[in-house]
């Protein structure tokens, strides 16, 4: 029996998702984690936009899998830096496909619920994307390239991501927690944005299960239950025991138009239809996931 651990090269592993992948995979696989921002001890430097450096690092490691995790995800930055965004979110993915095919190994690519236009109430794995802005278009073109050209692949679409706590979470939950830490007694929350939260650790665990089963393909991979920004904010206050101390004022997206000027779909609700059909949907309900996330990363945050 071969007891040697399989090897995974994880590129763009310095963010909130990388933290979850490192934690969920490090005991069962031999992994190499790289990023252009070396912010923890288990990361080494690589800018995957430099194809020659990417190729050398991956080929030297001789992985059994290539995980291409990194991307620009700030929609306003992407809108203002289109060339840099396409170079990072699309061209680098084409390079990853080339490397995975050269080594004849499976490739993991992370896609997003943001590739849809929000005109439907729910999107399953087979719905046709219609990206609205530079970020969404760059991610969708990456997804398409993987699906059309990689020999074996997993494309997993995440929703509203949460994970890694205050050090790496730059998304909605951390933005609210920061306001609470600053002592804000009123939160202004949009009432016209629906979606599905995605806990990074659930996401990484579900990817691991698909890899072990070798169920290649494209999957929606979000927490259970459909919700809105407004409901997530209310649930967060409840978890923190602040629902009586902090007021939520609902506003529409125009209220934040100067800060968040990039177009966003009104609805990003995904359903994990293919995972359900394969009987491999490990994603917990979003309320349970939020509870777990807050307990794990924010216990003493407001003290």
**Residue 50, burial from CB neighbour count under 10 angstroms (0-12, 13-18, 19+):** middle
1: pLDDT strictly greater than 50: no
pLDDT for res 213: 97
Cα–Cα nearest to 290, from 223, 205, 190: 223
pLDDT for res 22: 98
Within 10 angstroms of residue 2's Cβ, the number of other Cβ atoms is 5
**Phi, psi angles (nearest 5°) of residue 36:** -80, -15
Q: What is the mean pLDDT of residues 228-253?
A: 95
Residue 299's pLDDT band, with cuts at 50, 70 and 90, is confident
Tell me the pLDDT tens digit for each residue of 133-144: 999 999 999 999
Cα–Cα nearest to 157, from 120, 207, 192: 207
Residue 66's pLDDT band, with cuts at 50, 70 and 90, is very high
Strand partners, 188: 249
Domain ranges of the chain: 7-169+197-226+269-284
Positive/negative CA dihedral, 124, 127, 130, 131: positive
pLDDT for res 183: 94
Tell me the pLDDT tens digit for each residue of 156-211: 999 999 999 999 999 999 999 999 999 999 999 999 999 999 999 999 999 999 99
Distance CA 94, CA 145 (A): 7
Distance CA 36, CA 46 (A): 5
Predicted structure pTM score: 0.95
The third-level CATH classification (topology) of the domain covering 7-169+197-226+269-284 is: Rossmann fold (3.40.50)
Q: What is the mean pLDDT of residues 25-33?
A: 98
Run of H or E residues at 7: strand 7-11
What six digits make up the tokens of 167?
């050090």
Residue 289's pLDDT band, with cuts at 50, 70 and 90, is very high
Within 10 angstroms of residue 266's Cβ, the number of other Cβ atoms is 13
268: pLDDT strictly greater than 70: yes
Lowest mean pLDDT among 92-101, 115-124, 208-217, 254-263: 254-263
Q: What is the mean pLDDT of residues 141-157?
A: 98
Kindly give, in sequence order, each residue whose CB lies less than 8 Å from that of residue 86, ignoring residues fewer than 6 positions away. 134, 138, 141
**Residue 145, burial from CB neighbour count under 10 angstroms (0-12, 13-18, 19+):** middle
266: pLDDT strictly greater than 70: yes
Distance CA 21, CA 221 (A): 15
Residue 130's pLDDT band, with cuts at 50, 70 and 90, is very high
45: pLDDT strictly greater than 90: yes
pLDDT for res 2: 55
> Are 51 and 95 contacting, i.e. CB atoms less than 8 angstroms apart?
yes
Tell me the pLDDT tens digit for each residue of 90-119: 999 999 999 999 999 999 999 999 999 999
Q: What is the mean pLDDT of residues 221-249?
A: 95
Name the percent of the chain lying above pLDDT 90: 95
Q: What is the mean pLDDT of residues 49-63?
A: 98
Cα dihedral 29/34/38/43 (nearest 10): 20
> Are 133 and 173 contacting, i.e. CB atoms less than 8 angstroms apart?
no
Run of H or E residues at 199: strand 197-199
Q: What is the mean pLDDT of the chain?
A: 96
């Amino acid at each position: 029996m071969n007891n040697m651990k399989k090897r995974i090269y994880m590129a763009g592993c310095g963010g909130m998702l990388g933290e979850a992948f490192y934690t969920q995979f490090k005991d069962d696989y031999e992994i190499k984690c790289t990023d252009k921002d070396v912010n923890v001890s288990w990361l080494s430097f690589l800018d995957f936009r430099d194809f020659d450096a990417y190729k050398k690092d991956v080929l030297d490691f001789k992985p059994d899998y290539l995980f291409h995790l990194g991307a620009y995800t700030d929609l306003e930055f992407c809108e203002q830096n289109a060339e840099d965004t396409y170079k990072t979110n699309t061209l680098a993915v084409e390079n990853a496909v080339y490397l995975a095919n050269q080594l004849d190994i499976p490739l993991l690519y992370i896609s997003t619920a943001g590739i849809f236009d929000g005109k439907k109430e729910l999107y399953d794995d087979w719905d046709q994307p219609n990206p609205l802005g530079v970020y969404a278009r760059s991610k969708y073109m990456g997804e398409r390239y993987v699906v059309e050209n990689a020999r074996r692949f997993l494309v997993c679409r995440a929703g509203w991501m949460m994970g890694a706590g205050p050090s790496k979470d730059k998304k909605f939950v951390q933005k609210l927690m920061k306001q609470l830490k600053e002592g804000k007694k009123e939160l202004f929350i949009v009432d016209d944005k629906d979606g599905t939260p995605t806990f990074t650790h659930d996401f990484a665990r579900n990817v691991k299960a698909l890899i072990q089963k070798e169920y290649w393909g494209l999957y929606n991979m979000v927490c259970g239950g459909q919700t809105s920004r407004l409901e997530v904010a209310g649930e967060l206050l409840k978890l923190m025991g602040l629902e009586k101390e902090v007021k939520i004022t609902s506003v529409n997206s125009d209220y934040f138009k100067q800060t968040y000027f990039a177009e966003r779909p009104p609805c990003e609700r995904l359903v994990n239809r293919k995972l359900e059909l394969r009987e491999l949907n490990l994603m917990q309900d979003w309320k349970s996931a939020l509870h777990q996330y807050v307990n794990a990363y924010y216990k003493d945050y407001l003290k």
